[in-house]
Structure 1
Amino acid sequence: MNKEYNLLLADDDDDDCDFFKEALDEIPVTANLSMVHDGVQLMERLGNTALNNLPDVVFLDLNMPRKNGLECLAEIKANQKLQNLPVIIFSTSLDSEIVDNLYKKGASYYIRKPGDFSKLKKVIEKALTTASENQFKQPERANFILQP
């Protein structure tokens, strides 16, 4: 994996953002990480970004203030400029109805936030590797949820 990724993390939890950044720093992936802390900031950032400067992947938390991850995903997929942007859902919940809905709405992958730092590193690396090998296309539903 010699590609350099431009990643955008949308998460309102500062600790989760710090863990994500630390995990990213410790895996063999070259990445620039930007962060926003709610869905409104995310949509403003994406809306104001030129097409050739969009992130390679958005890691999107579901439970955020002002605009949640599901609303953001729907807006991204409805926007001509953003609809091909890979979105990996990154959330603590694992409700099968919500996961099915996210899949139908076009999310690339779903990651349940692990509480363990070593698992977090593994699942972020797996997400980038798997998604990259798959050209960031949505997999079959059976492969939608990534486990560490």
Structure 2
Amino acid sequence: MGLQIMNIVLADDDADDRMLFEEAIGEIDISTKLLMFNDGKQLLDHLLAPDAILPEIVFLDLNMPVKDGMQCLKEIRENEVLRNLCVAIYSTSSSEEDIEETFVHGANIYINKPNSFSALKKALARVLKINWQYHTSALNRDNFLLRL
């Protein structure tokens, strides 16, 4: 069996954040294919396309124009085809309210956007190396917020 390529999707309206994310993913020793979108509507249009290859993990920024991360999360969880996608909230917000609300709506993990490139790389490496099939069965508040 060849190296499996991990399909990753990022929805984030901040171009600098997208660039850093792409760079960090590129430096992690996992074969990945990254698709990036500027807002939640573009993301959902992509995921719902008939020929879409569903990603192993979706990184969602909460504050985006057109359709924000929270709306995306709810729509993903309500959709028969997308329901089991692994969703990582990737946000600058560290408000308890946001963390709680995304947990309640079924996000798999919450990542505060790190303020350094090395911290970002470390966070992404940790998230990508989680075996989600096992992780999601033991989903609880203690392991929901990724602490670096």
Common topology (TM > 0.5): yes
Alpha-carbon RMSD: 1.5
Determine the structure 1 residue equivalent to 2:89: 89
Structure 2, unmatched stretches of 5+, are: none
CA contact (8 A) 2:70 2:102 kept: yes
Determine the structure 2 residue equivalent to 1:5: 6
- Are the structure 2 counterparts of residues 54 and 133 from structure 1 closer, same or farther at C-alpha, using a change threshold of 3 Å? closer
Name the count of aligned residue pairs.
145
* Equivalent residues in 2 for 1:1-148, closer than 5 Å: 3-50=4-51, 53-130=53-130, 132=131, 134-135=133-134, 137=136, 139-148=139-148
Alpha-carbon displacement from aligned partner over 1:113-143 (angstroms, at most 9, x marks no partner): 001000000000001112x255452621111
Distance (whole Å) between structure 2 residues aligned to residue 136 and residue 8 of structure 1: 19
CA contact (8 A) 1:86 1:136 kept: no
Identity of aligned residues (%): 43
Tell me the SS of whatever aligns to 1:33: strand
Distance (whole Å) between structure 1 residues aligned to residue 133 and residue 79 of structure 2: 23
How many Å apart are 1:147 and its aligned residue?
Answer: 2.3
How many Å apart are 1:5 and its aligned residue?
Answer: 0.6
Distance (whole Å) between structure 2 residues aligned to residue 28 and residue 49 of structure 1: 31
Distance (whole Å) between structure 1 residues aligned to residue 63 and residue 89 of structure 2: 11
